[in-house]
Structure 1
Amino acid sequence: MARLTRAQQQERTRAAVLAAAREEFAERGYTDAKVDRIAERAELTRGAVYSNFPSKRALYLAILTDSIEHAGTDTGADTGTGGAAPSPGLADTLGAFARIWLERLPLTSDTPSGQKPQPRSLAGLFEDEPGRTALAQVTRLEALLLALALESREPQEARRVRLAELALTLVNGADHLADTAPGFGDPFDLARACRHLAGLDLADTWNPPHLPYITPAHLVQDDWEPPAEMTDHITGRPVGFEPDGVIAVLGTGRLEAAEEAVRAARPGDRITVAVVTSDPAEVGRLVRLRIGDITSCLRRVVPEDSWPAPHLVLDDGAAIASAIGIPDVGDSTEAAVRVQAGRIFARAHGRGAAYAVAIAGETTTARTGEAGR
Protein backbone atom coordinates (compact mmCIF):
# COMPACT_ATOMS: atom_id res chain seq x y z
CA MET A 1 0.00 0.00 0.00
CA ALA A 2 1.44 3.39 -1.01
CA ARG A 3 2.43 5.72 1.82
CA LEU A 4 0.38 8.88 2.25
CA THR A 5 2.02 12.17 1.46
CA ARG A 6 2.28 14.78 4.19
CA ALA A 7 -0.61 16.76 2.66
CA GLN A 8 -2.78 13.63 2.45
CA GLN A 9 -2.02 12.77 6.07
CA GLN A 10 -2.91 16.29 7.19
CA GLU A 11 -6.19 16.14 5.29
CA ARG A 12 -7.03 12.75 6.83
CA THR A 13 -6.25 14.06 10.31
CA ARG A 14 -8.34 17.18 9.74
CA ALA A 15 -11.29 15.09 8.50
CA ALA A 16 -11.05 12.85 11.57
CA VAL A 17 -11.03 15.86 13.89
CA LEU A 18 -14.07 17.38 12.16
CA ALA A 19 -16.03 14.11 12.30
CA ALA A 20 -15.28 13.66 16.00
CA ALA A 21 -16.08 17.28 16.74
CA ARG A 22 -19.49 17.02 15.01
CA GLU A 23 -20.40 14.17 17.32
CA GLU A 24 -19.14 15.95 20.43
CA PHE A 25 -20.88 19.25 19.68
CA ALA A 26 -24.11 17.47 18.70
CA GLU A 27 -24.20 15.55 21.97
CA ARG A 28 -23.02 18.24 24.38
CA GLY A 29 -23.40 21.60 22.69
CA TYR A 30 -20.65 24.16 22.27
CA THR A 31 -20.23 25.15 25.92
CA ASP A 32 -19.91 21.64 27.37
CA ALA A 33 -17.88 20.13 24.52
CA LYS A 34 -14.25 19.34 25.38
CA VAL A 35 -11.25 19.26 23.07
CA ASP A 36 -9.82 16.30 25.01
CA ARG A 37 -12.94 14.25 24.26
CA ILE A 38 -12.79 15.28 20.60
CA ALA A 39 -9.19 14.06 20.43
CA GLU A 40 -10.18 10.79 22.10
CA ARG A 41 -13.08 10.26 19.67
CA ALA A 42 -10.74 10.87 16.72
CA GLU A 43 -8.04 8.62 18.24
CA LEU A 44 -5.61 11.51 18.08
CA THR A 45 -3.66 13.57 20.55
CA ARG A 46 -4.82 16.93 21.87
CA GLY A 47 -1.87 18.46 20.03
CA ALA A 48 -3.06 16.99 16.72
CA VAL A 49 -6.39 18.74 17.17
CA TYR A 50 -4.76 22.09 17.92
CA SER A 51 -2.33 21.74 15.03
CA ASN A 52 -5.34 21.88 12.70
CA PHE A 53 -7.60 24.26 14.64
CA PRO A 54 -6.18 26.85 17.07
CA SER A 55 -9.20 26.79 19.40
CA LYS A 56 -12.49 25.08 20.16
CA ARG A 57 -14.28 28.10 18.70
CA ALA A 58 -12.36 27.82 15.41
CA LEU A 59 -13.27 24.13 15.25
CA TYR A 60 -16.96 24.82 15.90
CA LEU A 61 -17.05 27.54 13.25
CA ALA A 62 -15.35 25.21 10.76
CA ILE A 63 -18.16 22.67 11.27
CA LEU A 64 -20.87 25.29 10.87
CA THR A 65 -19.24 26.74 7.76
CA ASP A 66 -18.91 23.29 6.23
CA SER A 67 -22.61 22.60 6.83
CA ILE A 68 -23.63 25.88 5.14
CA GLU A 69 -21.38 25.32 2.12
CA HIS A 70 -22.72 21.79 1.59
CA ALA A 71 -26.32 22.91 2.06
CA GLY A 72 -25.91 25.58 -0.61
CA THR A 73 -24.44 23.42 -3.37
CA ASP A 74 -27.75 22.37 -4.91
CA THR A 75 -30.05 25.33 -4.33
CA GLY A 76 -31.87 27.11 -7.12
CA ALA A 77 -34.50 29.78 -7.36
CA ASP A 78 -37.35 28.86 -5.04
CA THR A 79 -40.20 31.13 -4.09
CA GLY A 80 -42.86 28.60 -3.33
CA THR A 81 -44.00 28.40 -6.95
CA GLY A 82 -42.29 25.20 -8.06
CA GLY A 83 -38.93 26.88 -8.73
CA ALA A 84 -40.35 29.53 -11.06
CA ALA A 85 -38.83 33.00 -11.18
CA PRO A 86 -40.03 35.15 -8.26
CA SER A 87 -42.64 37.82 -8.59
CA PRO A 88 -41.07 41.21 -9.19
CA GLY A 89 -42.97 42.60 -6.20
CA LEU A 90 -40.95 43.76 -3.22
CA ALA A 91 -43.34 42.17 -0.72
CA ASP A 92 -43.29 38.78 -2.46
CA THR A 93 -39.51 38.76 -2.60
CA LEU A 94 -39.14 39.67 1.06
CA GLY A 95 -41.71 37.10 2.12
CA ALA A 96 -39.99 34.38 0.08
CA PHE A 97 -36.63 35.26 1.63
CA ALA A 98 -38.06 35.01 5.15
CA ARG A 99 -39.73 31.67 4.42
CA ILE A 100 -36.50 30.17 3.12
CA TRP A 101 -34.48 31.62 6.01
CA LEU A 102 -36.88 30.11 8.55
CA GLU A 103 -36.82 26.62 7.00
CA ARG A 104 -33.90 25.60 9.20
CA LEU A 105 -35.46 26.55 12.53
CA PRO A 106 -35.28 23.58 14.95
CA LEU A 107 -38.56 21.73 15.46
CA THR A 108 -40.28 21.65 18.87
CA SER A 109 -39.56 17.91 19.07
CA ASP A 110 -35.81 18.42 18.59
CA THR A 111 -33.66 17.85 21.66
CA PRO A 112 -30.08 19.03 22.28
CA SER A 113 -28.85 15.44 22.25
CA GLY A 114 -28.46 14.10 18.74
CA GLN A 115 -29.02 17.47 17.06
CA LYS A 116 -26.73 18.77 14.39
CA PRO A 117 -25.03 22.03 15.39
CA GLN A 118 -27.23 24.88 14.17
CA PRO A 119 -25.38 27.19 11.73
CA ARG A 120 -27.02 30.30 13.19
CA SER A 121 -26.61 29.33 16.84
CA LEU A 122 -23.81 31.68 17.90
CA ALA A 123 -25.02 32.43 21.44
CA GLY A 124 -22.03 32.64 23.78
CA LEU A 125 -19.56 32.13 20.97
CA PHE A 126 -18.25 35.69 20.62
CA GLU A 127 -18.10 37.55 23.91
CA ASP A 128 -14.82 39.36 23.15
CA GLU A 129 -14.78 42.81 21.58
CA PRO A 130 -13.15 41.88 18.22
CA GLY A 131 -15.71 39.11 17.72
CA ARG A 132 -18.67 41.31 18.67
CA THR A 133 -17.44 44.07 16.37
CA ALA A 134 -17.02 41.63 13.47
CA LEU A 135 -20.49 40.18 14.11
CA ALA A 136 -22.06 43.65 14.05
CA GLN A 137 -20.21 44.61 10.88
CA VAL A 138 -20.98 41.40 8.99
CA THR A 139 -24.65 41.87 9.88
CA ARG A 140 -24.49 45.29 8.21
CA LEU A 141 -22.98 43.64 5.14
CA GLU A 142 -25.77 41.05 5.17
CA ALA A 143 -28.31 43.88 5.26
CA LEU A 144 -26.66 45.51 2.24
CA LEU A 145 -26.76 42.26 0.24
CA LEU A 146 -30.43 41.69 1.10
CA ALA A 147 -31.21 45.33 0.29
CA LEU A 148 -29.55 45.10 -3.14
CA ALA A 149 -31.60 42.00 -3.88
CA LEU A 150 -34.78 43.81 -2.86
CA GLU A 151 -33.86 46.93 -4.83
CA SER A 152 -33.40 44.80 -7.95
CA ARG A 153 -37.10 43.90 -7.79
CA GLU A 154 -38.26 47.52 -8.13
CA PRO A 155 -38.32 49.61 -11.29
CA GLN A 156 -37.60 52.88 -9.50
CA GLU A 157 -34.43 53.77 -7.61
CA ALA A 158 -34.93 53.32 -3.87
CA ARG A 159 -32.66 52.41 -0.98
CA ARG A 160 -33.94 49.39 0.97
CA VAL A 161 -31.21 48.92 3.58
CA ARG A 162 -33.41 49.94 6.52
CA LEU A 163 -36.08 47.50 5.34
CA ALA A 164 -33.46 44.74 5.08
CA GLU A 165 -32.19 45.54 8.59
CA LEU A 166 -35.73 45.32 9.96
CA ALA A 167 -36.36 41.98 8.25
CA LEU A 168 -33.05 40.56 9.52
CA THR A 169 -33.91 41.72 13.04
CA LEU A 170 -37.15 39.74 12.84
CA VAL A 171 -35.73 36.50 11.42
CA ASN A 172 -32.62 36.59 13.64
CA GLY A 173 -34.90 37.07 16.62
CA ALA A 174 -36.78 33.94 15.56
CA ASP A 175 -33.46 32.06 15.39
CA HIS A 176 -32.59 33.17 18.93
CA LEU A 177 -35.99 32.12 20.30
CA ALA A 178 -35.68 28.76 18.56
CA ASP A 179 -32.63 28.17 20.77
CA THR A 180 -33.99 29.57 24.02
CA ALA A 181 -37.72 28.81 23.70
CA PRO A 182 -38.18 26.02 21.11
CA GLY A 183 -41.54 26.05 19.39
CA PHE A 184 -42.37 29.67 20.15
CA GLY A 185 -43.59 31.59 17.11
CA ASP A 186 -45.05 30.24 13.91
CA PRO A 187 -42.65 30.39 10.93
CA PHE A 188 -45.53 31.03 8.51
CA ASP A 189 -46.70 33.99 10.58
CA LEU A 190 -43.15 35.34 10.64
CA ALA A 191 -42.83 35.02 6.87
CA ARG A 192 -46.15 36.84 6.38
CA ALA A 193 -45.01 39.54 8.79
CA CYS A 194 -41.82 40.06 6.78
CA ARG A 195 -43.91 40.32 3.62
CA HIS A 196 -45.98 43.11 5.16
CA LEU A 197 -42.85 45.02 6.23
CA ALA A 198 -42.50 46.04 2.58
CA GLY A 199 -45.47 48.38 3.01
CA LEU A 200 -43.78 50.50 5.68
CA ASP A 201 -42.48 53.94 4.74
CA LEU A 202 -39.06 54.02 6.41
CA ALA A 203 -37.90 57.24 4.72
CA ASP A 204 -34.69 55.49 3.72
CA THR A 205 -32.09 57.77 2.15
CA TRP A 206 -28.36 57.58 1.48
CA ASN A 207 -26.49 60.63 2.72
CA PRO A 208 -23.69 59.82 5.23
CA PRO A 209 -22.59 63.13 6.78
CA HIS A 210 -18.86 62.37 6.52
CA LEU A 211 -18.75 61.93 2.74
CA PRO A 212 -18.32 65.64 1.81
CA TYR A 213 -15.22 65.77 4.05
CA ILE A 214 -13.25 62.72 3.00
CA THR A 215 -9.73 63.05 1.61
CA PRO A 216 -9.74 62.85 -2.21
CA ALA A 217 -8.14 59.84 -3.85
CA HIS A 218 -4.60 60.09 -5.21
CA LEU A 219 -4.49 59.82 -9.00
CA VAL A 220 -1.77 57.42 -10.16
CA GLN A 221 -0.81 55.24 -13.11
CA ASP A 222 0.26 51.94 -11.54
CA ASP A 223 0.40 48.50 -13.09
CA TRP A 224 -1.34 45.65 -11.37
CA GLU A 225 -1.75 41.94 -11.90
CA PRO A 226 -5.03 40.44 -10.65
CA PRO A 227 -4.58 37.43 -8.37
CA ALA A 228 -5.70 34.08 -9.74
CA GLU A 229 -8.32 31.65 -8.44
CA MET A 230 -10.45 33.98 -6.33
CA THR A 231 -14.08 33.04 -5.65
CA ASP A 232 -17.05 35.37 -5.52
CA HIS A 233 -18.88 34.29 -2.36
CA ILE A 234 -22.16 35.71 -3.60
CA THR A 235 -22.42 33.64 -6.77
CA GLY A 236 -19.91 30.89 -5.94
CA ARG A 237 -18.20 31.45 -9.29
CA PRO A 238 -14.62 32.60 -10.03
CA VAL A 239 -14.07 36.34 -9.92
CA GLY A 240 -13.20 38.00 -13.20
CA PHE A 241 -11.46 41.30 -12.57
CA GLU A 242 -12.81 43.68 -15.17
CA PRO A 243 -10.47 46.33 -16.69
CA ASP A 244 -12.63 49.08 -15.17
CA GLY A 245 -14.03 49.16 -11.67
CA VAL A 246 -13.48 49.73 -7.96
CA ILE A 247 -11.73 47.34 -5.59
CA ALA A 248 -12.31 47.97 -1.89
CA VAL A 249 -10.26 46.13 0.73
CA LEU A 250 -12.13 46.18 4.04
CA GLY A 251 -11.21 44.73 7.41
CA THR A 252 -13.88 42.94 9.40
CA GLY A 253 -14.26 46.05 11.55
CA ARG A 254 -15.20 48.24 8.55
CA LEU A 255 -17.54 46.12 6.42
CA GLU A 256 -20.27 48.75 6.52
CA ALA A 257 -18.12 50.85 4.17
CA ALA A 258 -19.00 48.47 1.32
CA GLU A 259 -22.12 50.51 0.66
CA GLU A 260 -20.06 53.63 -0.01
CA ALA A 261 -18.51 51.95 -3.06
CA VAL A 262 -21.85 50.52 -4.22
CA ARG A 263 -23.76 53.82 -4.03
CA ALA A 264 -21.00 55.92 -5.61
CA ALA A 265 -20.29 53.53 -8.49
CA ARG A 266 -20.56 54.84 -12.04
CA PRO A 267 -22.79 53.06 -14.55
CA GLY A 268 -20.92 50.00 -15.78
CA ASP A 269 -18.49 49.89 -12.86
CA ARG A 270 -17.89 46.52 -11.25
CA ILE A 271 -17.37 46.71 -7.50
CA THR A 272 -15.20 44.10 -5.80
CA VAL A 273 -15.17 44.00 -1.99
CA ALA A 274 -12.27 42.02 -0.53
CA VAL A 275 -12.75 41.18 3.16
CA VAL A 276 -9.54 40.82 5.19
CA THR A 277 -8.91 39.95 8.82
CA SER A 278 -6.06 39.43 11.23
CA ASP A 279 -7.79 36.28 12.52
CA PRO A 280 -8.80 33.98 9.61
CA ALA A 281 -9.34 30.95 11.85
CA GLU A 282 -12.10 32.53 13.93
CA VAL A 283 -13.28 35.94 12.72
CA GLY A 284 -12.65 34.97 9.10
CA ARG A 285 -14.71 31.81 9.52
CA LEU A 286 -17.47 33.83 11.18
CA VAL A 287 -17.72 36.08 8.12
CA ARG A 288 -17.61 33.07 5.79
CA LEU A 289 -20.40 31.41 7.77
CA ARG A 290 -22.71 34.42 7.82
CA ILE A 291 -22.18 35.41 4.18
CA GLY A 292 -22.57 31.82 3.05
CA ASP A 293 -25.84 31.55 4.95
CA ILE A 294 -27.52 34.66 3.58
CA THR A 295 -26.33 34.18 0.00
CA SER A 296 -27.59 30.59 -0.03
CA CYS A 297 -31.02 32.00 0.85
CA LEU A 298 -30.85 34.84 -1.66
CA ARG A 299 -29.87 32.58 -4.54
CA ARG A 300 -33.18 30.79 -4.08
CA VAL A 301 -35.16 34.02 -4.18
CA VAL A 302 -33.60 36.37 -6.73
CA PRO A 303 -32.13 35.20 -10.06
CA GLU A 304 -28.44 36.09 -10.22
CA ASP A 305 -28.79 37.82 -13.59
CA SER A 306 -31.09 40.45 -12.06
CA TRP A 307 -29.16 40.94 -8.83
CA PRO A 308 -26.77 43.91 -9.12
CA ALA A 309 -24.54 42.89 -6.25
CA PRO A 310 -20.78 43.47 -6.04
CA HIS A 311 -18.20 40.73 -6.16
CA LEU A 312 -17.48 39.66 -2.58
CA VAL A 313 -14.17 37.91 -1.91
CA LEU A 314 -13.17 36.57 1.50
CA ASP A 315 -9.48 37.34 1.12
CA ASP A 316 -8.04 35.34 4.03
CA GLY A 317 -4.57 35.33 2.52
CA ALA A 318 -4.69 39.04 1.59
CA ALA A 319 -3.94 38.15 -2.04
CA ILE A 320 -6.00 41.03 -3.45
CA ALA A 321 -4.64 43.46 -0.89
CA SER A 322 -1.10 42.51 -1.84
CA ALA A 323 -1.85 42.74 -5.57
CA ILE A 324 -3.04 46.34 -5.28
CA GLY A 325 -0.15 47.33 -3.02
CA ILE A 326 -1.56 47.18 0.51
CA PRO A 327 1.19 45.41 2.48
CA ASP A 328 -0.33 45.35 5.98
CA VAL A 329 -3.97 44.50 6.63
CA GLY A 330 -6.04 44.07 9.75
CA ASP A 331 -9.56 44.30 11.08
CA SER A 332 -9.62 48.12 10.77
CA THR A 333 -8.27 48.21 7.19
CA GLU A 334 -10.13 50.48 4.77
CA ALA A 335 -8.44 51.04 1.42
CA ALA A 336 -9.50 51.09 -2.21
CA VAL A 337 -8.32 51.55 -5.79
CA ARG A 338 -10.02 52.45 -9.06
CA VAL A 339 -8.89 50.42 -12.07
CA GLN A 340 -9.15 51.85 -15.58
CA ALA A 341 -8.01 50.08 -18.73
CA GLY A 342 -6.29 47.43 -16.61
CA ARG A 343 -4.18 49.89 -14.59
CA ILE A 344 -4.64 51.42 -11.15
CA PHE A 345 -5.89 54.95 -11.74
CA ALA A 346 -6.65 56.12 -8.18
CA ARG A 347 -5.84 55.10 -4.61
CA ALA A 348 -7.30 56.01 -1.21
CA HIS A 349 -6.79 54.89 2.39
CA GLY A 350 -8.79 55.42 5.56
CA ARG A 351 -12.40 56.38 6.20
CA GLY A 352 -14.30 56.94 2.98
CA ALA A 353 -11.63 55.30 0.78
CA ALA A 354 -14.12 53.33 -1.32
CA TYR A 355 -16.22 56.41 -1.98
CA ALA A 356 -13.13 58.50 -2.78
CA VAL A 357 -11.90 56.18 -5.53
CA ALA A 358 -15.41 55.60 -6.87
CA ILE A 359 -15.77 59.33 -7.62
CA ALA A 360 -12.12 59.88 -8.60
CA GLY A 361 -11.86 62.03 -11.71
CA GLU A 362 -15.38 63.42 -11.39
CA THR A 363 -16.44 66.83 -10.12
CA THR A 364 -17.16 66.97 -6.40
CA THR A 365 -20.36 68.97 -6.90
CA ALA A 366 -21.92 66.43 -9.25
CA ARG A 367 -21.20 63.44 -7.05
CA THR A 368 -22.14 65.14 -3.77
CA GLY A 369 -25.57 65.80 -5.24
CA GLU A 370 -25.96 62.12 -6.07
CA ALA A 371 -24.94 61.06 -2.56
CA GLY A 372 -28.30 62.10 -1.20
CA ARG A 373 -30.23 59.58 -3.27
Structure 2
Amino acid sequence: MLKQERARRTRELVLDAAAEEFSTQGYSRATLNAVARRTGMTKGALYGHFPSKRALAGALMSQSRTVWEEMRLARDVPGAEAAVVLEELVLDLAHRLQEDVRLRAALRLATDIPDPAWPQPVRPSPAEAPDIFEDVQRGLVALIRRAQGEGGMAPRPPELVAQLLLAVLHGAPHVSFGPPEGTGPGAYDAAWRLLLEALTGADHGASSPGRPLTGAAPRA
Protein backbone atom coordinates (compact mmCIF):
# COMPACT_ATOMS: atom_id res chain seq x y z
CA MET A 1 0.00 0.00 0.00
CA LEU A 2 2.84 2.38 0.86
CA LYS A 3 4.49 1.69 -2.49
CA GLN A 4 1.23 2.32 -4.33
CA GLU A 5 0.68 5.62 -2.51
CA ARG A 6 4.24 6.72 -3.30
CA ALA A 7 3.70 5.84 -6.97
CA ARG A 8 0.42 7.79 -7.00
CA ARG A 9 2.06 10.88 -5.51
CA THR A 10 4.91 10.68 -7.99
CA ARG A 11 2.45 10.40 -10.87
CA GLU A 12 0.61 13.50 -9.64
CA LEU A 13 3.90 15.36 -9.36
CA VAL A 14 4.78 14.42 -12.94
CA LEU A 15 1.36 15.53 -14.22
CA ASP A 16 1.72 18.91 -12.50
CA ALA A 17 5.20 19.36 -13.97
CA ALA A 18 4.01 18.34 -17.43
CA ALA A 19 1.07 20.73 -17.16
CA GLU A 20 3.42 23.62 -16.36
CA GLU A 21 5.56 22.71 -19.35
CA PHE A 22 2.68 22.24 -21.81
CA SER A 23 0.85 25.37 -20.67
CA THR A 24 3.89 27.57 -21.29
CA GLN A 25 5.62 25.78 -24.17
CA GLY A 26 2.82 23.99 -26.01
CA TYR A 27 3.14 20.41 -27.19
CA SER A 28 5.83 20.78 -29.83
CA ARG A 29 8.33 22.69 -27.65
CA ALA A 30 7.74 20.77 -24.41
CA THR A 31 10.24 18.00 -23.67
CA LEU A 32 10.41 15.09 -21.27
CA ASN A 33 13.82 16.35 -20.14
CA ALA A 34 12.22 19.63 -19.06
CA VAL A 35 9.43 17.78 -17.25
CA ALA A 36 11.99 15.60 -15.49
CA ARG A 37 13.95 18.68 -14.39
CA ARG A 38 10.81 20.20 -12.90
CA THR A 39 10.26 17.07 -10.79
CA GLY A 40 13.89 16.42 -9.88
CA MET A 41 13.57 12.95 -11.38
CA THR A 42 15.75 11.30 -13.98
CA LYS A 43 14.26 10.83 -17.42
CA GLY A 44 14.42 7.07 -16.88
CA ALA A 45 12.41 7.31 -13.66
CA LEU A 46 9.83 9.46 -15.43
CA TYR A 47 9.48 6.77 -18.11
CA GLY A 48 8.36 4.41 -15.38
CA HIS A 49 5.17 6.45 -15.05
CA PHE A 50 4.64 7.80 -18.57
CA PRO A 51 6.36 6.18 -21.56
CA SER A 52 6.21 9.28 -23.78
CA LYS A 53 5.30 12.93 -24.10
CA ARG A 54 2.28 11.73 -26.03
CA ALA A 55 1.09 9.72 -23.00
CA LEU A 56 1.47 12.75 -20.73
CA ALA A 57 -0.54 14.95 -23.09
CA GLY A 58 -3.26 12.31 -23.39
CA ALA A 59 -3.53 11.95 -19.61
CA LEU A 60 -3.96 15.70 -19.12
CA MET A 61 -6.54 15.98 -21.90
CA SER A 62 -8.49 13.01 -20.57
CA GLN A 63 -8.48 14.45 -17.06
CA SER A 64 -9.78 17.78 -18.36
CA ARG A 65 -13.00 16.12 -19.51
CA THR A 66 -13.61 14.71 -16.04
CA VAL A 67 -13.02 18.14 -14.49
CA TRP A 68 -15.47 19.81 -16.89
CA GLU A 69 -18.16 17.15 -16.39
CA GLU A 70 -17.91 17.44 -12.61
CA MET A 71 -18.25 21.22 -12.82
CA ARG A 72 -21.20 21.01 -15.19
CA LEU A 73 -23.10 18.39 -13.21
CA ALA A 74 -22.56 20.26 -9.94
CA ARG A 75 -24.35 23.31 -11.38
CA ASP A 76 -26.80 21.90 -13.92
CA VAL A 77 -29.15 20.20 -11.47
CA PRO A 78 -32.84 19.38 -12.09
CA GLY A 79 -35.02 22.47 -11.88
CA ALA A 80 -32.17 24.98 -12.26
CA GLU A 81 -32.72 27.87 -14.64
CA ALA A 82 -30.40 27.54 -17.61
CA ALA A 83 -29.38 31.23 -17.56
CA VAL A 84 -28.33 30.95 -13.91
CA VAL A 85 -26.44 27.72 -14.57
CA LEU A 86 -24.62 29.33 -17.50
CA GLU A 87 -23.63 32.37 -15.43
CA GLU A 88 -22.33 30.31 -12.52
CA LEU A 89 -20.61 27.74 -14.71
CA VAL A 90 -18.76 30.28 -16.85
CA LEU A 91 -17.50 32.13 -13.77
CA ASP A 92 -16.52 28.85 -12.10
CA LEU A 93 -14.60 27.85 -15.22
CA ALA A 94 -12.90 31.24 -15.44
CA HIS A 95 -11.68 30.99 -11.85
CA ARG A 96 -10.66 27.35 -12.33
CA LEU A 97 -8.51 28.28 -15.32
CA GLN A 98 -6.69 30.85 -13.20
CA GLU A 99 -5.97 28.32 -10.48
CA ASP A 100 -5.65 24.95 -12.25
CA VAL A 101 -2.53 24.58 -14.40
CA ARG A 102 -3.67 21.15 -15.61
CA LEU A 103 -6.84 22.57 -17.11
CA ARG A 104 -4.90 25.44 -18.70
CA ALA A 105 -2.48 22.90 -20.16
CA ALA A 106 -5.35 20.86 -21.60
CA LEU A 107 -6.73 23.95 -23.33
CA ARG A 108 -3.29 24.76 -24.72
CA LEU A 109 -2.96 21.21 -26.01
CA ALA A 110 -6.41 21.43 -27.59
CA THR A 111 -5.31 24.50 -29.55
CA ASP A 112 -2.22 22.59 -30.71
CA ILE A 113 -4.22 19.70 -32.14
CA PRO A 114 -5.25 21.42 -35.43
CA ASP A 115 -1.56 22.09 -36.15
CA PRO A 116 -0.47 19.82 -39.06
CA ALA A 117 2.78 19.19 -37.17
CA TRP A 118 0.88 17.45 -34.34
CA PRO A 119 1.59 13.70 -34.66
CA GLN A 120 -1.69 11.93 -35.33
CA PRO A 121 -1.15 9.22 -32.66
CA VAL A 122 -1.08 11.97 -30.02
CA ARG A 123 -4.73 12.69 -30.62
CA PRO A 124 -6.68 10.64 -28.05
CA SER A 125 -9.79 8.81 -29.16
CA PRO A 126 -13.03 10.82 -28.77
CA ALA A 127 -14.30 8.39 -26.15
CA GLU A 128 -11.08 8.71 -24.10
CA ALA A 129 -10.46 12.46 -24.21
CA PRO A 130 -12.38 14.67 -26.60
CA ASP A 131 -11.14 18.13 -27.48
CA ILE A 132 -11.88 20.15 -24.34
CA PHE A 133 -12.91 23.13 -26.47
CA GLU A 134 -15.49 21.04 -28.32
CA ASP A 135 -16.68 19.43 -25.11
CA VAL A 136 -17.18 22.74 -23.29
CA GLN A 137 -18.66 24.39 -26.37
CA ARG A 138 -21.31 21.69 -26.68
CA GLY A 139 -22.26 22.19 -23.04
CA LEU A 140 -22.43 25.97 -23.36
CA VAL A 141 -24.47 25.83 -26.57
CA ALA A 142 -26.98 23.49 -24.92
CA LEU A 143 -27.32 25.83 -21.92
CA ILE A 144 -27.70 28.92 -24.12
CA ARG A 145 -30.44 27.26 -26.18
CA ARG A 146 -32.27 26.20 -23.04
CA ALA A 147 -31.98 29.68 -21.56
CA GLN A 148 -33.36 31.21 -24.74
CA GLY A 149 -36.23 28.73 -24.70
CA GLU A 150 -36.97 29.68 -21.10
CA GLY A 151 -36.99 33.36 -22.03
CA GLY A 152 -33.94 34.14 -19.90
CA MET A 153 -31.61 35.10 -22.72
CA ALA A 154 -31.67 37.18 -25.91
CA PRO A 155 -32.05 35.18 -29.16
CA ARG A 156 -28.45 35.46 -30.33
CA PRO A 157 -26.74 32.58 -32.22
CA PRO A 158 -25.86 30.03 -29.48
CA GLU A 159 -22.78 28.73 -31.30
CA LEU A 160 -21.34 32.23 -31.72
CA VAL A 161 -21.99 33.16 -28.09
CA ALA A 162 -20.30 29.94 -26.93
CA GLN A 163 -17.30 30.50 -29.22
CA LEU A 164 -16.80 34.03 -27.93
CA LEU A 165 -17.03 32.87 -24.32
CA LEU A 166 -14.45 30.18 -25.01
CA ALA A 167 -12.11 32.62 -26.72
CA VAL A 168 -12.17 34.92 -23.68
CA LEU A 169 -11.87 31.99 -21.26
CA HIS A 170 -8.73 30.85 -23.05
CA GLY A 171 -7.09 34.27 -22.87
CA ALA A 172 -8.39 35.46 -19.49
CA PRO A 173 -5.67 33.83 -17.34
CA HIS A 174 -3.09 36.01 -19.10
CA VAL A 175 -4.93 39.32 -18.62
CA SER A 176 -5.27 41.65 -15.62
CA PHE A 177 -8.79 42.98 -15.09
CA GLY A 178 -9.28 46.61 -14.09
CA PRO A 179 -6.77 49.15 -12.72
CA PRO A 180 -4.15 47.87 -10.23
CA GLU A 181 -6.17 49.08 -7.25
CA GLY A 182 -9.26 47.34 -8.62
CA THR A 183 -7.85 43.90 -9.32
CA GLY A 184 -9.00 40.86 -7.39
CA PRO A 185 -12.01 38.52 -7.37
CA GLY A 186 -14.52 41.40 -7.39
CA ALA A 187 -13.08 43.03 -10.51
CA TYR A 188 -12.71 39.67 -12.21
CA ASP A 189 -16.29 38.64 -11.49
CA ALA A 190 -17.59 42.05 -12.61
CA ALA A 191 -15.74 41.74 -15.91
CA TRP A 192 -17.29 38.36 -16.58
CA ARG A 193 -20.79 39.58 -15.73
CA LEU A 194 -20.28 42.46 -18.14
CA LEU A 195 -19.27 40.02 -20.88
CA LEU A 196 -22.23 37.74 -20.19
CA GLU A 197 -24.61 40.70 -20.27
CA ALA A 198 -23.18 41.85 -23.60
CA LEU A 199 -23.37 38.40 -25.18
CA THR A 200 -26.68 37.21 -23.82
CA GLY A 201 -28.68 40.40 -23.37
CA ALA A 202 -29.32 39.48 -19.73
CA ASP A 203 -28.65 41.76 -16.75
CA HIS A 204 -26.10 39.95 -14.57
CA GLY A 205 -25.51 42.85 -12.24
CA ALA A 206 -22.37 44.24 -13.88
CA SER A 207 -23.07 47.59 -12.23
CA SER A 208 -22.70 45.93 -8.81
CA PRO A 209 -19.27 44.24 -8.81
CA GLY A 210 -19.62 43.04 -5.24
CA ARG A 211 -22.91 41.23 -5.79
CA PRO A 212 -22.47 37.43 -5.51
CA LEU A 213 -23.68 35.24 -8.33
CA THR A 214 -27.29 34.18 -8.25
CA GLY A 215 -27.43 30.95 -6.28
CA ALA A 216 -23.66 30.97 -5.63
CA ALA A 217 -21.76 31.74 -2.47
CA PRO A 218 -19.56 34.86 -2.53
CA ARG A 219 -15.93 34.20 -3.34
CA ALA A 220 -13.20 35.11 -0.90
Given the two structures, how large is their TM-score scaled by the length of structure 2? 0.51
**How is 1:39-58 mapped onto 2 (pairs within 5 angstroms)?**
39=36, 42=39, 44-58=41-55
1:169 aligns with 163
Aligned length: 175
Contact 1:91 1:196 in 2 (8 A): no
Q: Does 1:187 align with 2:188?
A: no
| Aligned mate of 1:116, from 71, 79, 101 | 101
Q: Which runs of 5+ in 1 are unaligned?
A: 108-114, 198-299, 302-373
Give 2:112's aligned amino acid.
L
Return the letter of the residue paired with 2:197: R
- Alpha-carbon distance in structure 1 between the residues aligned to 2:192 and 2:15: 30
Q: 1:74 & 1:143 partners in 2: Cα distance?
A: 12
The one-letter amino acid paired with 1:18 is E
Question: Would the alpha carbon gap of residues 184 and 61 (structure 1) be closer, same or farther in structure 2, given more than 3 Å must change?
Answer: farther
1:35 is the counterpart of 2:35: no
Q: What RMSD in Å do the two structures reach over aligned CA positions?
A: 5.0
Give the structure with the larger strand fraction: 1
**Correspondences of 1:1-373 after superposition (within 5 Å):** 8=4, 12-13=6-7, 15-23=9-17, 25-26=19-20, 29-31=23-25, 34-39=31-36, 42=39, 44-63=41-60, 65-66=62-63, 69=66, 72=70, 76-77=74-75, 86-87=80-81, 91-106=83-98, 116-117=101-102, 118=104, 121-122=107-108, 125-126=112-113, 127=115, 128=118, 130=120, 131=123, 139-140=133-134, 142-152=136-146, 154=149, 163-178=157-172, 181-183=174-176, 186-196=191-201
Runs of 4+ residues deviating >6 angstroms? 134-138
Query: In structure 1, the residue corresponding to 2:175 is in which secondary structure?
Result: coil
Q: Could you give the per-residue CA deviations for residues 308-350 of structure 1, whole angstroms, max 9, x where no partner exists?
A: xxxxxxxxxxxxxxxxxxxxxxxxxxxxxxxxxxxxxxxxxxx
Answer whether contact 2:14 2:39 (CA < 8 A) is retained: yes
More helix by share: 2
State the Cα distance separating 1:62 from its structure 2 match. 2.5
Percent of aligned positions with the same letter in both sequences? 21
Question: For 1:65-101, what per-residue CA distance to the aligned partner results, in whole angstroms no more than 9, with x for missing partners?
Answer: 54774683797338xxxx99533xx655544443333
Letter in 1 for 2:52: S
TM-score under structure 1 length normalisation:
0.34
